[in-house]
Amino acid sequence: MADSACRELILKAVFICLLKLAFSYSFRSCIEIPDSNHKTFRCIKCHEPDITTIVQDVFPTATNLTVSRSNTTFVQGRSFDHLSNLTCLVLDVNHIVEIHKDAFNNLHQLQILNLSCNRVSSLHRDVFSDLHNLTQLLLGSNKLNNTDMFLFSKLTNLQILNLRRNNLKNFSALVECIANLSSLIKLDLSFNNLTTLHHSHRLPESLARLYLSNNKLYKLGCDKSFLMYVKVLDFSDNKKLSFEAFQGLNLENITYLRLRFTNVSASKLLTHTNVRPWSIDFSGLKLKDSRALSSLCFFLQHHHKKQHIPKMFLKGNSIRALKNNTFYHCPNFTGVMDLSRNEMKTTGCLQFLHGQNQLESLKLEHNHLTKLMSCNKTKNLYSLRSLSYRYNRILQVSGFAFSNTPKLTNLELNINIIAYMDHKALSGLKDLVTLRLDNNLLTDVYNDSFKDLTSLKTLNLRNNQIAVIFNYTFHSLSNLSILDLGGNKITQLKPHAFDGLHSLANLYLDRNRLNMIDSSLFGKLHATLQVLDLQDNHIRYLKEHTYSPFINMSRLLDLKLDAQKPNGIYLLPRAFFRGLTSLKSLYLTNNHIIGFGDETFDDLKNLEFLTLVDSCVGIAQLKPGIFKNLRKLKMLFVENMGIKSFSKEVFGNLTGLKTLHLNRNAMMSLDISLLDNLTNLTYIDMRSCPLSCGCQNSDLQNWTVSNKRLQFPYLYNITCQDHPGSYFHNFDTNVCYLDIELYLYSLTFTFTILLTLIPFLYVRLYWKFKYGYYVFRSWFGEQWRRLRDQEENYKYDAFVSYNSADEDWVMEQLLPNLEGSSFRLCLHHRDFELGRDIVDNIVAAVYGSRKTICVVSQSFLRSEWCSLEIQLASYRLFQEMQDVLLLVFLEPIPKRQLSTYHRMRKVMLKKTYLQWPGLNCSDPSSAKELFWNQLKRALRSSNTGSQEEQKMKEENDQKRQEKDMEETEYFVNQTPIDEEVYYLIP
């Protein structure tokens, strides 16, 4: 039992190690923003109601965390305990009703806490006690009705406190809890239920911006100096508030006072307080006609002579018309005058501004203007630079409509219903830089419409009704860098439509009806064009062609071709993108392309962004090598392209890839080793792929939950294609690992057994293995040799194996005696083939000779090669029943020494051996003669014939008896081998 538990533990450890090599991660309810370095996390629309659970797997490295649009009602204590690096925590738009007093404990780094749009009605006084670094606390749109005195007491660094849209009534209590916040700059109390500003404490002196709009204030009831440090003060939409409330109040530091839709009379306020007139926003103060405005001017002029007024806000005063010279007696307005949201039907030629010759900007938005008239006969407003007529009902712009404002640099005529714009409407605007004509009903622009606009940089004609761009329309716009023609009905671009656009960088032609890309037309822009938007046109190719419409566009960075109507590009020509060598972004979504050639993207070596989402018809497999040159690609969207497998040939070269979107493809599995090669990949989205929950994906499953390199977002929502109702992240892989476990177990077991046996086998069976191997190697050679040489036709009679120390004896004794008797001997130094492997030579020698003579001496026993030979020969002896081995003992070897050569003793036990008589023999010459005769007889004997052997053995036995009696040493049969050794070698 204990053993199996231990085994399991070890296996687990092994697995963890294996799995740590490759890896991705995912979060139950959150995603990490790609490229954020494990710092920014978002958890949006989580079904999980418990916020602690939602954020539990977010990495501790997180600095910015957003949990939004979930059904969370309660923030538990220590929910963010592990996220002590958080600097920004956004918990807006949930259903939070209650927050535990320890909810934000440990968030010592937190700077921004956003709890807006929840249902919090009260907060524990300690809930923010750890947040001493907090600079922004956003509590807007909750249900707070009171605040504890100590609620904010620890927030000594707080700069911004937002409490708008709550149910606060008690201003005094509120001031009490912020009184010590010496860093507080902005306090927003708009949309509450405050009725007075009665207070028992003072505002922090740092507080510069106080917003009190949309309360129920009717009197202020505060000290005269209470607001003396405030600079921006908003009392708008306190309907009952009248000027009396401000009487005597010190407002001298105010720079902006907003009183819109209160009951305050501007002139009385100016008369009875020390507020500076240029600080007041006069919007919504019922200054509805020239008379009211003139008297305001008169007042400003006479009480504050010499002053220039930098901004004049007169919005929402129900002004219907302004007489000429209305502002003639005002001090000089220098910056902006805003007359938006009034009810003017005409502004003539801005004659109401006569006398104002320093005004720079005029806004007349959201009025009821219908026509801009000719103004070439009125006084000019040379100071006006910016003029906005947005959101009116202008249908017609007459010729010379802006002749009175010749210095305009910015003109906004957008969001009207301009259908008629005279050829000369814009004449004279030589300084104009930005012209907005978008969202009108223009059908034609003429070749002289923009004639004078030589400084123009941005021309926006989006969302009109233009059908044709005629030749030379933009001829004089040599400084234009952005031309927006999107959302028109352009079917035709005349050949010289873009002539003169020498600086054009961005050209938007999306949502038109172009059916081709005219390379000569766009080619003219090649030197400057960087962005070309051709989305949603009617471009379609039905047959292959070999030129690229973009061939010269080597500066183009961004090309959009998505969603061609009605049925997509269809056949994308192979050379289509040739020449786009700088291109960084390419959009091709929604195009019903039937297939991509493998060289389609070859020129796009600098591409960083590519989207092909929904670009195919059905299943159009990506060709191998299609992305081979896109090494700089960082983001790739290949959603819904029918991709069935994620192959190395297609994706393997995308080494720069960081984000990969593979959603809605047909892949059932994913090879994780390939992802390991994409070393920059940090995000892979595979939602809505029919991932199988079978063993082929068990690695993927493990991999998706373990490491920190690669995010696999929404993993926990991915279901099993083949097991409806179960989830990919936890499908049961035990079955798969059981196999592997068993496999690993048997592997480990075998390994252990082997480890135990190897030393033993090494000692006992080493040579057997080694020779088995050599014999196997020689076997083939032998087989064919035998085939070639059917009868036992040996090349040599004997292969002589000896040690070089005994060479003299071999050369002087053996060779003359045997070769003299016409025996063919094989000697290694003489007969081995040069250059052949020594082992092969030995094998060939042993098998190429009828016998092998081993010249045994002390030196021989020490030599490995000789041992190899003797073992090979003895292998033949024992295994092939070939009697090939002849042992010749040159010197007496002590029995004790021989016992270490087990095999030698075994051979000696089974076989004849001869002892060289040597020098200390009593009758050397006759003994030698006998020796040679014996040797020659043994050499002649048949290898298989056991008769001879039997004879020799009998003879040996006889001789042994003789030896026993006569103590001769001519034939030595060693004493019986001890049984043990014998049996150990089977």
Ligand X SMILES: *[C@@H]1O[C@H](CO)[C@@H](O)[C@H](O)[C@H]1NC(C)=O
Comparison of 70 and 142: residue with beta carbon closer to ligand X: 70
CB 79 → ligand X: shortest distance, Å? 18
3-state secondary structure (DSSP) of residue 473: coil
Q: How far is the CB of 96 from ligand X (least distance, A)?
A: 13
> Does the CA dihedral 325-326-332-338 come out positive or negative?
negative
Closest distance to ligand X from the beta carbon of 33 (Å)? 7
Q: How far is the CB of 111 from ligand X (least distance, A)?
A: 4
Q: What token pair was written down for 849?
A: 């000779």
Q: Which residue, 70 or 356, has its beta carbon nearer to ligand X?
A: 70
Question: Of the two residues 66 and 388, which places its CB atom closer to ligand X in the complex?
Answer: 66
Burial string for 858-893 (b: 16+ CB within 10 Å, else e) reads ebbbebeebbbbbbbbbbbbbeeebbbbbbbbbeeb
Selection from 713, 657, 706 nearest residue 686 by Cα: 713
Task: State the minimum distance, in angstroms, from the CB of residue 44 to ligand X.
Answer: 9
CB of 704 to ligand X, least distance (A): 23
113 vs 184, which CB is nearer to ligand X? 113
Nearer CB in complex with ligand X: 48/599: 48
- Measured from the CB atom, is 43 or 593 closer to ligand X? 43
CB of 260 to ligand X, least distance (A): 32
Give the DSSP per-residue string, 536-600. Answer: TS---B-S-----TTTT-TT--EEE----TTT--BS--TTTTTT-TT--EEE--S--B----TTT
Instruction: Work out how close the CB of 70 gets to ligand X at its nearest, in angstroms, rounded to a whole number.
Output: 5
Report how far residue 339's alpha carbon sits from residue 388's, in angstroms, rounded to the nearest whole number. 10
Smallest separation, CB 45 to ligand X (Å):
4
Toward ligand X, which CB reaches closer, 87 or 380?
A: 87
89 versus 856: smaller Cβ distance to ligand X: 89
Q: Which is nearer to ligand X, 47 or 377 (CB)?
A: 47
> For residues 844 and 822, what is the distance between their CA atoms, to the nearest angstrom?
21
Closest CA to 391 of 364, 419, 366, 418: 366
Distance, in Å, from the CA atom of 376 to the CA atom of 490, rounded to the nearest integer, reads 33
Residue with tokens 């100096």: 225
The CA distance from 535 to 574, in Å, is 20
Q: Work out whether the CA dihedral 515, 519, 525, 528 comes out positive or negative.
A: positive
967 vs 975: CA distance, rounded Å: 14
Query: From the CB of 63, what's the least distance to ligand X, in Å?
Result: 6
Least distance CB 40 / ligand X (angstroms): 4
Chain residues that interact with ligand X, rule: CB under 6 A: 40, 45, 47, 63-64, 70-71, 87-88, 111-112
User: Nearest distance from residue 247's CB to ligand X, in Å?
Assistant: 43
By beta-carbon proximity to ligand X, the closer residue of 118 and 374 is: 118
Pick from 804, 828, 803, 800: nearest CA to 815: 800
Cα separation, 28 vs 42, in Å, equals: 11
Q: Which residue type is seen at 102?
A: D
Contact 150, 125 (CB under 8 A): yes
- Residue pair 520/497 in contact (Cβ under 8 Å)? The answer is no
How far apart (Å, rounded) are the C-alpha atoms in residues 216 and 789?
121
* Least distance CB 39 / ligand X (angstroms): 7
**Residues 512/490, Cβ–Cβ less than 8 Å:** yes
CA distance 416 to 441: 8
Asked if residues 164 and 141 have their Cβ atoms less than 8 Å apart, the reply is yes
Q: Tell me whether residue 48 or residue 57 sits nearer to ligand X (CB atom).
A: 48
Residue 483 backbone class (left: φ over 0; alpha: ψ -120 to 50; beta: rest): beta
Tell whether the torsion through CA atoms of 432, 438, 441 and 443 is positive or negative: positive
| Residue indicated by tokens 């009905």 | 489
Residue among 161, 126, 165 at smallest CA distance from 144: 165
Closer to ligand X by Cβ: residue 136 or 410 = 136
What's the min distance (Å) between Cβ of 268 and ligand X?
Answer: 45
Beta carbon of residue 51, minimum distance to ligand X (angstroms, whole number): 13
Q: Pick between residue 47 and residue 788 the one whose CB is nearest to ligand X.
A: 47
Nearer to ligand X by Cβ, of 138 and 264: the residue is 138
* Strands 40-44 vs 31-32: parallel, antiparallel or unpaired: antiparallel
301 φ, ψ (degrees, to nearest 5):
-65, -40
CB 89 to ligand X: min, Å:
9
- Give min distance, CB of 518 to ligand X, in A: 43
C-beta closer to ligand X: residue 111 or 215: 111
Dist CA 136 CA 155 (whole Å): 10
Q: Which is nearer to ligand X, 47 or 306 (CB)?
A: 47
Q: From CA 817, how far away is CA 807, in angstroms rounded?
A: 15
Q: What is the DSSP letter of 898?
A: H
**DSSP count for the chain of H helices, then E strands:** 21, 42
Structural element, H or E, at residue 232: strand 232-234
Positive/negative CA dihedral, 393, 395, 401, 405: positive
Q: Output 52 or 356, the one with its CB closest to ligand X.
A: 52
Least separation in angstroms between residue 112's CB and ligand X is 5
Nearer residue to ligand X within complex by CB, 65 or 466 = 65
Report the C-alpha gap between 669 and 696 in whole angstroms.
7
